[in-house]
């Protein structure tokens, strides 16, 4: 198959050694690599955010990355990119007219808008990675998304050929947006089980039991709840991995806020901030932990629990979004309510006191990740969805297509 992946703000190249690469970057890179390894011709279209970038990069994994000129060639907040999607769509339209793909797979809602506007009769599949309806519900007035985002996502549910959701909770949200059940499949995100393994380098640690939380330092990720919960486990330390470079920690607003929370909770001497770490060093940090925490208020999917389970580490996570699917409560970890540091502290204290249960959770996590979440399976399942869409007679799945505007 000739496959075009569209990822307007998240380049797969940023996942290669990029300390700030997010889950979408990693997902698109692994999917492109895996599809190319299965013999497909894969091109990823992403927005040029640096004037020095070449028009095209052929990666060592066998897929191409095309840098699309749409707006200024500089880093822009993704919430500011909507007005540049018509230009993005124009480039896609020209390229696809010259060389028609068999299938287009859009990643994130703005990629979907550009893809639908440019694809003509080429099937477009959509992975949202995050939904504006969920973000608005949890962030309220703090939501910086364009005000028309939810309406445009609803229009995509009408106009794409199929949606590839990453978890069962997302399917529920998509149904609320009007997506028929027969036009959605669940294919989760994956983890590299050759990199995240139980055996390997381990970052140096103290003699204290170590709790670890990993990810971007944004309020919705719940690091402050992890800090407050530390009061219930007085022997333990909390290591916060992620955020700005280490030499900028002293002036980062979120770090300063979390340090104030730690001081108020009386645990400041047991909270350590590493700052940003190279992606290659993440497995060693994960292996150094007795328990890995993933405690967001909400989460579209959540890669951290998979990385922890792949390394044989038990997980304590909030029962939200994709974490409900990936963490099997009482088998690979414990699920707790979001934004409840009291319950979180109780779960951590009980788990740290039970060596046998931690070992059992770790072993079960390795088995679960290797059977369900390794990238080889995720790629194969995604390819199967492509073939299902291509084998479906045109128009038989989606009879409610309406014109979708790139910008309103």
**pLDDT block averages, 10 residues each, the chain of length 408:** 97 67 86 98 97 97 98 93 98 98 98 98 96 87 89 97 95 94 95 96 97 92 97 97 94 97 98 93 97 94 94 98 96 98 98 98 98 96 98 65 48
Rg (Cα) of the chain, in Å, rounded?
Answer: 21
For residue 107, give the 3-state DSSP assignment.
Answer: strand
Which pLDDT belongs to residue 224? 97
Give me the number of domains the chain comprises. Answer: 2
User: Considering all CA atoms of the chain, what is the largest pairwise distance in Å, rounded to the nearest integer?
Assistant: 64
Residue 268 sits in the same domain as residue 150: no
Range of the domain at 271: 210-373
Return d(Cα 16, Cα 4) in angstroms, integer: 20
Return d(Cα 68, Cα 110) in angstroms, integer: 14
Closest CA to 279 of 303, 300, 297: 303
| Owner of token pair 């390997």 | 200
Residue 313 sits in the same domain as residue 386: no
Q: Residue 87: inside a domain, yes or no?
A: yes
Q: Residue 146: inside a domain, yes or no?
A: yes
Strand-pairing partners, residue 211, are: 238, 291
Q: Alpha-carbon torsion 9, 13, 15, 17, what sign?
A: negative
Residue 106 sits in the same domain as residue 240: no
Q: Residue 331: inside a domain, yes or no?
A: yes
Read off the tokens for 207: 């003699």
Residue 341 sits in the same domain as residue 353: yes
Residue 322 sits in the same domain as residue 179: no
Read off the tokens for 408: 């309103």
Hey, how many other C-beta atoms are within 10 angstroms of the C-beta on 16? 15
Q: Residue 74: inside a domain, yes or no?
A: yes
> 275-313 b/e with 16+ CB inside 10 Å = b?
bbbebeebbebbbbbbbbbbbbbbbbbbbbbbbbbbbbb
Residue 179 sits in the same domain as residue 97: yes
Residue 186 sits in the same domain as residue 222: no
Residue 255 sits in the same domain as residue 174: no
Report which secondary-structure segment, H or E, holds 225. Answer: helix 223-229
Return d(Cα 42, Cα 3) in angstroms, integer: 5
Return d(Cα 128, Cα 142) in angstroms, integer: 20
DSSP H helix total and E strand total for the chain: 14, 14
Residue 298 sits in the same domain as residue 359: yes
Q: Alpha-carbon torsion 344, 346, 352, 355, what sign?
A: negative
Q: Residue 15: inside a domain, yes or no?
A: yes
CATH number (domain holding residue 319): 3.40.50.2000
Q: Residue 172: inside a domain, yes or no?
A: yes
Q: Residue 10: inside a domain, yes or no?
A: yes
Residue 325 sits in the same domain as residue 276: yes
Q: What is the pTM of this model?
A: 0.89
Interstrand relation of 56-58 and 64-68 (parallel, antiparallel or unpaired): antiparallel
Residue 9 sits in the same domain as residue 22: yes
Report helix angle 375-391 to 23-37, nearest 10.
70
Residues composing the chain: 408
- Write out 336-379 in H/E/C secondary structure: ECCCCHHHHHHHHHHHHCCHHHHHHHHHHHHHHHHHHHEHHHHH
Residue 169 sits in the same domain as residue 277: no
For residue 303, give the 3-state DSSP assignment.
Answer: coil
Q: Residue 403: inside a domain, yes or no?
A: no
């Amino acid at each position: 198959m000739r496959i075009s992946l569209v990822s307007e703000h998240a380049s797969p190249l940023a996942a290669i050694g990029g300390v700030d690469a997010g889950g979408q970057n990693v997902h698109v890179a692994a999917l492109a690599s895996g599809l190319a390894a299965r013999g497909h011709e894969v091109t990823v279209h992403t927005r040029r955010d640096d004037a020095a970038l070449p028009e095209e990069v052929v990666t060592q994994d066998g897929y191409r990355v095309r840098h699309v000129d749409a707006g200024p060639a500089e880093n822009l907040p993704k919430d500011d990119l909507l007005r540049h999607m018509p230009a993005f769509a124009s480039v896609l339209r020209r390229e696809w007219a010259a060389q028609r793909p068999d299938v287009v797979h859009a990643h994130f809602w703005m990629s979907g808008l550009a893809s639908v506007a440019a694809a003509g009769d080429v099937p477009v599949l959509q992975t949202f990675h995050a939904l504006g309806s969920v973000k608005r519900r949890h962030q309220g007035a703090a939501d910086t998304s364009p005000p028309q985002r939810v309406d445009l996502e609803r229009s995509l549910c009408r106009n794409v050929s199929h949606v590839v959701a990453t978890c069962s909770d997302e399917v529920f949200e998509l149904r609320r947006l009007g997506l028929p059940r027969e036009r959605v499949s669940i294919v989760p995100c994956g983890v590299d089980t050759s990199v995240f393994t139980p055996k390997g380098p381990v970052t140096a640690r103290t003699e204290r039991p170590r709790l670890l939380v990993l990810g971007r330092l944004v309020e919705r990720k719940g690091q402050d709840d992890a800090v407050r919960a530390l009061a219930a486990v007085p022997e333990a330390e909390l290591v916060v991995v992620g955020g700005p470079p280490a030499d900028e920690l002293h002036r980062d607003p979120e770090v300063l806020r979390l340090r104030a929370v730690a001081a108020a909770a009386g645990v400041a001497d047991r909270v350590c901030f590493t700052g940003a770490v190279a992606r290659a060093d993440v497995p060693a940090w994960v292996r150094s932990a007795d328990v890995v925490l993933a405690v967001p208020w909400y989460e579209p999917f959540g890669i951290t629990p998979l990385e922890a389970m792949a390394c044989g580490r038990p997980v304590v996570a909030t029962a939200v979004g994709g974490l409900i699917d990936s963490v099997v409560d009482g088998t690979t970890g414990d699920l707790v309510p979001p934004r409840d540091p009291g319950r979180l502290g109780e779960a951590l204290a009980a788990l740290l006191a039970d060596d046998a249960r931690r070992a059992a959770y770790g072993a079960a996590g390795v088995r679960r990740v290797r059977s369900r979440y390794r990238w080889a399976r995720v790629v194969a399942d995604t390819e199967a969805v492509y073939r299902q869409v291509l084998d479906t007679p045109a128009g038989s799945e989606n009879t409610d297509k309406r014109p979708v505007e790139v910008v309103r």
